[in-house]
Structures are given as C-alpha cells and as structure tokens.
Chain A
Amino acid sequence: MTSGTNSTVDLEAPEPGTGASTIGRNPWQPNRQHIPVLATLTLLAFMYGLGVVNYEGFGDIQVVLNVFVDNAFLLVVAVGMTFVILTGGIDLSVGAVVALTTTLGATLLNAGWPAYVVLPLLLLLGTTLGVSMGAVIHYFKVEPFIATLAGMFLARGIALLINRNSIPIDNDFWVSVAQQRVRFDKGVFISSSVIVALAVVLVAALVLAWTRFGRVVYAIGGNADSALLMGLPVARTRIAVYGISGFCASLGGVLYSFYTLSGYSLHANGLELDAIAAVVIGGVLLAGGSGYLFGTVLGVLVLGLIQTIITFEGTLSSWWTRIVVGVLLFAFIVLQRVVTGKRAVRRTD
C-alpha cells in the first residue's frame, strides 16, 4: 500500500510535522484517481501510433476529425450517461430516446412544423422522460435498471407506433445544418454537430468540476445515505441527473438525425451499451462516485478509433469491433479493480 490515500497511515513514516515528505505524495507518481484516465490516454496514443505505422493515410488530421464527426452523437449521449453513472445509477433508455427523437422529429418536420418549434420540443420531450424516470427511481425506490428499462420500452414503443419505416428528412434548416462544415484548411473540416458535442462536453465538465451540483453528484455516487445525512439535496440532484441524461439523449438524437438525415424507430439500437462501454473504458467507476468526464471523451475516441482501424484494415470484419471492445472493457475493468483496491469489493458485496 502506498501512501497515495489520505486515510492510510504509514507506520514507517516519521512523526507528523517532523518531515513534510510523508504528507505530500511523490510528484512523479500519478494520483491513483487519475490512473484509469491516464491508461486510456496511453491506449489511445498507442492505437493511433499503431494506425499511423500500419496504414497509409492514417496520419491525416482528417482521420482524427472524422472520428469526432462520426461519433458526435455518441459523445453527447455518453456525457449524459456519465452523470447518471457517477451517481451510481444507469440509464438503459438512451438508445431508444435517440430513436424516438429522430422518428418524431422527422414526422413533425415532414408534417410542415417549423424547425424552431420541433427542436426545442424534442429536447423537452427527452428531458421530461428523463426527469420522470428519475422521480420514479428516487421516490418509489424502483431499481434504476428496471425504471429505465421501462423507459426504453416506452420510447422505442412510441417510436414504432409513430412510424415503423425509415423517414427521410428534407427540412431546409435540418439539411443546411447537416451540411454545414467548419473548414480549417483544404479538405480539413468538422461538422456542426462536433461543435455542439464539444460545447456539451465543456459545459458538463465545468458543471462536474466546479459547481455545487457536480459535487453532490459525486457525493451521491460515493454514498447516497451519507450524502442525505450531510443535508445535500439528494432528491433534486438524482432526478436532475436522469433529466440531464434524457436531455443529452434527445440532443444526441437530433445530432443523429443531422448525421443520417432520417428518422427511424430502429436507429441507435444498442447505443446505450456503447455509451456505457465508453464511460467504463474512460475510467468512470460503475459503482459511482469516481471518474472524470475527460475519461468518457477518451472512451468514445477509443471506440471510434477501433472502428477506424477496422475500416482501414479492410479485411477485418465488423464483428471484431465487438470482440475488441469486449476485451478492452475487460482490461479496463480489471485495471480499475486493481487501482481502486478494496473499494470495489465492498460495493459488489
């Protein structure tokens, strides 16, 4: 056991006050909390290096930017999922909410509703669904797993009921935003969705790191009962977290409809698992209370880079993606387990 944690008393150490060496940790030794994120960062760099060495054209800046372009919606959804998982919960409904958002959006736009009405309506819908699930989870003590499962059935069911076919979107606003590119150089660009996604990440990171709300989120994940006894607003925060996840899911749905310019009730099948995987790979503890949003961003990039490598390889089939993601999940969970030590054991018990 190193003296990384504050609670550990090093018996070999000199008396407190006689030497500062035991109080401050070795500046060259990373904070244990940061190890999972650093591991993900190392992996990302390693994967990128592997790609650059093995494939011609992999080093283009546009390849990296395309990872963002193709995964902007996943990034937004994963941000919401991070909030929920930090409180120790889980949200299985996000994929279905994305599908519902695209289907409803496409239907309303085709019915002639103006975009400035449809867009807020979609975001409001996702947020409302999230808040209701949060309320059921908190007040009626229904397991998050089951409550959000019901939300998943509900959202996917409504989407199927609205239209079971794929609906193309030809609304002027939607098309123009979807085709909007921010160009840096000749052939180097990002889509407008990337800007939205990065803005969401930035705001969420600031909220988590600097606000009272963010601290309560971590506190609930650490121990909800203690948080309650400390007088923190557990009810409000927990419900808000599911609301944020619902909002992010519907925003992710809007970005997805920009990406595909279509609405389909079977869009984003299994997206919730991708989001959970990204969060876990990013080093957020599924038991809650520990992790960083930056890790989630890295997790999404890892997933995106796996896809890119498989595309560049050409001969590798798509199912290798699943297997590689599974192996990575395993590696990161074991790493977390090693890093966090006994804590995880107590939580599983």
Chain B
Amino acid sequence: MAVSTFKRGLRLNTRKHATEGFPVELAPLPKQVVIPINQHFGAPNKSLVNVGDKVKRGQRIAEGAAPGPMTVPVHASISGIVKKIENRLQSNNTEGPCIIIEAEEGVSDETDFMPPLDPFACTKEEALQRIRDAGITGMGGAGFPTHVKLSPPPNKPIDVIIADGAECEPYLTTDEALMTEKPDLLIKGLAIVMKLTGVGKAIIGMEDNKAKLIPMLEQELRLGGYGGDISLGLCRTLYPQGSEKLLIKALMGREVPSGGLPMDAGCIVSNVGSLVAIAEAFTLGKPLIDRDLTVSGGACKLPKNIRAPIGTILTDLPPQFMDIDYSKLRKVLFGGPMMGTAVPTLNIPIQKNTSGIILMTEEETWLDAEGPCLRCGRCIRNCSCKLSPVIMNNAIEAGDLDEAVKVGLMDCFECGACTYVCPARIKLTQRFRVGKQRLRLKVQAAQAAQTKAQTAAAPAAPASNAKS
C-alpha cells in the first residue's frame, strides 16, 4: 500500500512500546466521579440535577443554558447520588463547575440509555439530534461538537470523510487499540456519517506504524457491506500526522486555506473514537459516558489502555489496577507529551477529550534553561505548516504583532515541533500562545474603543467615519 505523507515534520521516538498492542482494560467502577458540566467548545451548559438527586448511568445531567447549536449535553457516567456541585480543577488547568456523583450500593447496574435508532432509516435531522443528544464531541482534542461538524453549510460541498486514526503523539495507543477491537463499530460509524452527510467516499487514515492492522481492517470492510467507498490510507509515521490539516494534506494533497476549516477543503475529519461513539449512540442508545485512554509513562508501574467512566479520577482506581510510583512522578500530562497539558495534581477527572494520562519521570521530560537563539533555522525546517517560528518569535518580542500575524502566528496550531527541535530550548510554542492572547486582547481593546467612539459620536458624525 502506498504511504502518503506531508513535507517536514518530526520523526519522534514514539515511546508507544509500553502499551502497544495491549487490549483495552475495563476499569473497576469508581466510588465517585467528578463530571465537568462543560466539556465542549461552545456555549456553557447548566446543571439539570440538584444535590441529593438520584441519577442513573446515561442520564442527562447538564444541558445548554441557552438554546443554540454549539452545546452538547453531559450525562451521568455511573449510577448514584449527586453529592456536590462545585468548582473543581479540570484538565485544561481552569476551574469549572463539576457534578460529583457517588456510587450507591445496589443501583450501580441501572442505566438510562436512549432507545436504539436505525441510522439508515431515520431522517438527517433525527440522526444529528441523536448525535447531539449522545453528547458526542471530538475525542481527539479540542472538544468541538460533532453534530456541528457534521452539518456544514450548503456552500461548502464535502466530498470525503476522513477517519483520523493517525495517533501521532508519543505514548498514546488508544486509537490503535480501538481500531483493533472495534473495527466493525468504526466502519459503522463512518457509514452513518456518510449516509448523514450524503458523501460517497471515506478514508480511514493511520500512520504506517499501525500497518499490521490493514488485513484485519480490509476484511472488516468487505464484511461490513455498507456501500459507499471506504478505503484505508496509510501515512508515514511523522509528527504531527494526526493534525487534521496535515492528514488532509497527506491523504488528499489539499491544503485547508489559512483561517479556514477542513470543510473549506471539502473534508470532514473525525477521530476514530468519535466515530465509534456515534455508532454506539445509534445501536445501543448509549451516550458518551466512557472514555478509552492510555495511561503510561515511567512513573506508571502498570502502563495500559483503559476504559473508564468520564469523571473518573485516576487515584480512585485500586492500586492493583493502576499502580503509580509516586517517588518517581514529576509531571502529569493530560494528553500526549507534544500537545498535552501538564496539571498540578492527579486529582483531575477524565474528560471526553482525554486521550491519555502520562505519568512522567524527571528523565522523560526536560528541564533545560533557555539559551540565546542560534538562528539555526531548525524551527523553520521542521514546521509542517511552513511557518517561520524564529521570525514570528522575533516579531512578538519586538511587540510587532502585525508582522507576527503576517508570517503566520494565527496559522500555528501549536503542535510543538519547533520547540522540540530548538537547540537553544526556547519555548517557542508557549511564546506563540502568549502572542495569540495578546493579539486577542488588542483586537478586543480596539473593538471596545470603536464601539465607545461610535456611541459617543453617533448623533453628530455620519457612519462613514466608522471605517477608519
């Protein structure tokens, strides 16, 4: 099979061996779960339950506060009693309202799932509603509501659906385990999305370190019989192949226009986990309440792929299942080591977008101090988006945000490749985050000033002044 790829990028030491090929182990039911009520990118949710309420696994417990498309509900992941609703630290290092459910003896096996729905018989609106009701968001990272992604405006014709199984982050092996164990559901999820969007073509994209899955997936495709053209796309193992922009470039040879979305390149990209969740939402009526993730790293004595209810806190799992070497533990990551977030405590719940928890030792991470820039150009050579990080950084340091934007600040998706290769250990990615934030503040300030000027000058001056 031909291996497609993009230019530049990194050949990382994948560090996947610790859990590669491991089955997904079902975590023992935790005594309590902490469920953040906002786990999606969009308008905030509000709680539907009160302290003391009895909830069942699968029951909707939080829902959009105001009507709008950019919200998805959140469901109870275990049956029990609502003990508290309070602000807790979440995996993005901000505090947010969480519903804390404690398991109760005897009721733990009760569920409140939706009735199954035949995706090939229902209407498009019903299907989108089901995906929203199941609380499905992108399971790869940002938490973008899946039903929104699947209903592009009519002026953006889509001709291919891409299942993102690249999993280019080191350590993480969950997507591979998922494709190994649930290929039927993955293909069914793809077929549902194809039916729903009316797109005839789909590609399952993955890195060539997962090439061993090809015969099995091909057989599954033959058995599936969903019609439509579903194929496998093998990409070189190259970081950041799992980024939707680069997966589109590698598989389709297209580029998403600057400032655009995959739909601007005629593609919908969805993580394989989200596709399996879609299939389960129809066949089982099960909302997104469990999450597959990799727990790995040098301070993890039993690295493994696990399935745990959303809201589980790692330390609540029994030590015979999840044994942590606290003496070696120096850094906890939610997500992979290239784009994941370092968190200050283990007392943080698993969320819908938590692809892994990496327990790193001091040797695995790095602590070098920043040195002066050598202007070696490695950041430029390795930027898969063909940006010029060193020049962007110089512009930000000089306070020239316009210049930084011109050379690509807003096109940077913070994959971290430039920072990884920088011999002077300059934290470029972090500087770009700060630069983007400064730009946002600047734009906000400019808008506020304009609004103020407009309201002040409204009676006297005509609207033509507004342009300046």
Same complex = no
Question: Residues of B with Cβ closer than 8 Å to A?
Answer: none
- Which of A's residues lie within 8 Å of B, judged by CB? none
